[in-house]
Structure 1
Amino acid sequence: MATPPAQPKIPKHVAIIMDGNGRWARERGLPRAAGHKAGAEAVRETIQGCRDLGVEFLTLYAFSSENWDRPKSEVSALMKLLEKFLKDKADELMEWDVRLQAIGRLHDLPDSCQRQLHQTIERTANNKGLTLILALSYGGREEIIDGVKSVIKAVQAGHIDDAMITSESFSQHLYTRYFPDPDLLIRTSGEMRLSNFLLWQVSYAEFVVLQKCWPDFRAGDLRDAVAEFGRRHRRYGKV
C-alpha cells in the first residue's frame, strides 16, 4: 500500500511586516499615499489566502508607534485609508467569517478611527474563521513597558506576588494575551529587521523575507512562504 503524502505544515499564526509601500510608489513616480492605497489590495489577498490555507490568526503591522513621526499629510492619509478600509471591508469580513481584533495604543488613533474600529470589531465578534489582528499605533518596546506596568499594579493590589511572575504569566499582561505567538513572520521589501514588531512574541517564529514591496505581495507569495515554513525544523532551542 502506498504511503499517503504528508500533510503540509500550516502555521497557526502568521504575522507580517508590510514594508515597502513608499518605495513602491517612488519607483513609479507616485506619491507615497498611492503606495499605501495599493497595499490595501495586498491585504485583501492575504486575508483570503490565509483563509484558504487554514491559518487561524493573521497579524498585520499596519501602523507603528514610530509612524506618528512621519509628515502630517502622510499620517492623515493613512488614518483616512484605515477608516475607509474598516468601513468598506466590514461586509467582506462578515462574508469571509473573519473576526477583527486590534492591538497597540489604540487610544492614540483619531476618534473617528477608534469609533469605526470598535464598530467593525463588534460586528465581526461572533465570526468563527480567521482572526485578523491589526497592529495599530503599536510598538513592541511600548507593549513590554505597558506589560511591566500592568504587573506592578497587580502586585501592588495583592493579586500576585513576585514569585508568581514567569514568562507565561507575563504574557498575560501583553496586548496579545488572547492570541498564540506567531509561528511564521513574513517581511516584504528585503529589510532584515524587526522594526519594533512583536519583540516578545516572535522569539521562536520562523522568518521569511521577500524582496518585493508590499503592494506586489499576492496569495502565491503567501503560499510560497508557508511552504518554506513547512520545510523548517523548529527545535525551540533543543537538538
Structure 2
Amino acid sequence: MSEQKIPHHIAIIMDGNGRWAQARGKKRVFGHKAGMERAREMAEVCGELGVKYLTLFAFSSENWNRPQDEVSFLMELFATSLKNESKKLNKNNVKLTVVGDKDGFDKTLRKAIDKAEALTQDNDGLYLQIAANYGGRWDMVQAAQQLAAQGQEITEEGIAAHLVTGGGPDPDLLIRTGGEQRISNFLLWQAAYSELYFSPMLWPDFDGDALQQAIADYNQRQRRFGQTGEQVTTAEQGD
C-alpha cells in the first residue's frame, strides 16, 4: 500500500446490516451490532493507513420510516456506542464529529453527542465524522437558509462553507457496501467529484482487506475534475 495514494477523505455508506443478520436467521438488530463493530475496525484501519477524514453514514433522515422497534434500537445503540467508544477515540487522537440534524434526537442522545465531541475536539489524528439524521438535500437547504438569514449572497463557496461538513475536504473516495449502486442522498454536494466504489459485500463483512481493495481500485482511476486526461498527466509529470 505504501506505493499507492491513500485517499485523504473516505466516505462510506454502511449498507447491509439487516440482510447480513437475516441471512444468519437472526433479527436485524443483530446485524446493526455487528455493523458497529465493523465501523470501529474501519476507523482503526483508516488511522493506520494515514486516511485523514473518515465519514460514515450511520442513519439517514429517511431511516425514521423504518419499523419503530428497529429505530429505537438504533438510537440506543448510537448512545451506548458514543459513551463506550469516546474515551478510546480520545486516547487514539481521533476527533469525533456528528454531522446531521441533531435537533431530531432526544435530549439524552444529544447530550451524549455533545459530551463525546467535547472530549475529542482537540485531537488532530483521524477526523471521524458520523452522519446521523443526515440527508444531502437537507444539508444544502440548511446551508442556503443560513446564508439567507445572514443576508449573504448564495454562492457555491458560501454553500460549501455552511454545509455541516464545512471546513473539511470533499470525499476522494465514496464506498457503498451491500450491492446497491446509488448514493441515497448522502453528501450530494460534497461527492460531486468523488470516485465511487460499490461493493457487493454486506457491511459487517467489509473488513480491512476489502478497504484496501477499494483503495487499490481508486488508484487505477484518473481524477480529471473536468480536464482532459492529457492535461492531468502533464500536470502530474510536472510535479
TM range (shorter): over 0.9
- 2:15 aligned with 1:23, yes or no? no
CA–CA distance in 1 between the matches of 2:156 and 2:42? Answer: 31
2:166 pairs with 177, 183, 186, which one? 177
What amino acid is the match of 1:212? Answer: M
Matches of 1:182 and 1:34, distance apart in 2: 30
Alpha-carbon RMSD: 1.3
What is the SS of the residue equivalent to 2:123? coil
> Which runs of structure 2 are paired with 1:67-78 in the superposition (5 Å)?
67-78=63-74
TM-score by length of 2: 0.92
Query: Is 2:134 the counterpart of 1:138?
Result: yes
CA displacement at 1:167 relative to structure 2: 1.3
Q: Matches of 1:82 and 1:222 in 2, distance apart? A: 23
- Note the 1:41-56 alignment, pairs <5 A: 41-56=37-52
Shift in Å at residue 86 of structure 1? 0.6
The Cα of 1:169 is off from its aligned counterpart by: 2.2
Q: Secondary structure at the match of 2:148?
A: helix
What residue number does 1:209 align with? 198
Which amino acid in structure 2 is aligned with residue 87 of structure 1? K
SS in structure 1 of the partner of residue 110 of structure 2: helix
TM superposition shift of 1:178: 2.1
CA contact (8 A) 2:180 2:198 kept: yes
184-193 or 106-115, which deviates more: 106-115
Where 1:208 maps in the other structure, the secondary structure is: strand
Other-structure match for 1:106 = 102
Check the 8 A contact 2:140/2:159 in 1, yes or no: no
Matches within 5 A, 1:85-234: 85-155=81-151, 160=152, 162=153, 165-234=154-223
Farther off after superposition, 6-15 or 78-87: 6-15
2:234 corresponds in structure 1 to none
**Letter of the 1:151 counterpart:** L
Residue in structure 2 matching 1:81, options 59, 77, 89:
77
Output one character per residue of 1:97-145: Cα deviation in whole Å (capped at 9) or x when no partner: 1000111101111211111111011001111100000001000111111
Give how far 1:88 is off: 0.8
Using the TM superposition, give the Cα deviation of residue 6 of structure 1 relative to its aligned residue in structure 2, in angstroms. 8.1
Unaligned runs of 5+ in 1: none
Tell me, in whole angstroms, the C-alpha distance in 2 between the residues paired with 1:81 and 1:170: 32
Percent of matched pairs sharing the same residue: 45
CA contact (8 A) 1:79 1:110 kept: no
Q: Distance in 2 between matches of 1:112 and 1:222?
A: 34
Match of 1:33 in 2: 29
For 2:131 and 2:102, locate their aligned partners in 1 and report how far apart those are by CA, in whole Å: 9
In structure 1, give the amino acid aligned to 2:163: L
Contact 1:94 1:127 (C-alpha < 8 Å) held by counterparts: yes
Q: CA deviation at 1:191?
A: 0.3
